[in-house]
Amino acid sequence: MADRIEYDEFGMFHQNAAEYALPFDGPPDVRRVATRLPDGRTISSLRWGHEPPEVVLIHGGAQNAHTWDTVALALDRPLLAPDLPGHGHSDSPAPGVGTAPAANAADLAVVIEQQAPDAVAVVGMSLGGLTSIVLATARPDLVRRLVLVDITPGVTGEKAKAIHDFVRGPATFTSFDELLARTKEFNPTRSESSLRRGILHNATQLDDGSWVWRHRRDDTAVMGDDDTPRADPALLWDDLQAFDGPITLVRGTRPQSVVDDDDVAELLRRRQDATVIEVDAGHSVQGDAPLELAEIIRNAISETATGANT
């Protein structure tokens, strides 16, 4: 049987800091908090700092809250990073609803209302971005500014085929090295150390030494590509257009990005005031360019807090 690999959830932050030359004087002030939903399920989040969170970071499908670790270290601001239903340490979605944006938004509204009601910005990547759009429509009191990370309602399964192929790959892996090799294949520009950390946060080793992903494969929709009404691109575009607050789209410029020129054009047609920022990154901007993304979020927080609208 393969050797056990020890996992310390809060023991790798120094590696994140070292990789990006961030100051590190000791473990950051971060802890897990649980929010109980009305139906008894629990959503788990990482809460950074003890002051009221200024920003909420919502990860993409098949990821978890730790995808934001380097961004959070660089920001050095109080924030909340939830695990979406069926991901990380959160309970599964409510029966029959899957991880569609509308279902996610309903759960996260409870979380944000309890944990970060005064946050000045909600940042959503991929499925987390679509979830954020729905949340902004359903609970505008909780979303004062939207930052969408490499996602628009125009992103289709065809555009995201490489991501879907990765997520829908093997269900189990005989060894950590096998899982790492597959992850490197689909993330050719990322450092091996960052991919190792990501796997340890997003997969678990079984008693027989094999590895499985933490997220529920049977209902994980990477882009919200299911039959629920809020996954309809036209409705999501309408929601985004109707949102009253400022919108920033962060678009990766590498081939792995899923946002194309048509997506940007449609966003600007519907919201001429939207800000579009291009970053040298693929789809997972928070992994490829965390320092640049942290600076974009910092500026968004500052602009929103002072009433500026770019």
What pLDDT shows up at residue 97? Answer: 74
Which positions are annotated as active-site residues?
126, 150, 283
d(CA 189, CA 27): 27
d(CA 176, CA 180): 6
The kind and range of the H/E element at 36 are strand 30-36
CA dihedral 192→206→39→233, nearest 10 degrees, is: 40
Helices assigned H by DSSP within 139-227? 161-167, 176-186, 192-202
What pLDDT shows up at residue 36? Answer: 98
Show the domains of the chain with their CATH numbers.
13-305 (3.40.50.1820)
What pLDDT shows up at residue 121? Answer: 98
What pLDDT shows up at residue 261? Answer: 98
Whether 75 contacts 297, CB under 8 Å: yes
What pLDDT shows up at residue 168? Answer: 87
Whether 166 contacts 143, CB under 8 Å: no
pLDDT profile of the chain (310 residues), mean per 10: 86 97 96 98 98 98 97 98 96 82 95 98 97 96 98 92 89 95 92 96 96 77 39 90 97 96 98 98 97 97 69
What pLDDT shows up at residue 226? Answer: 38
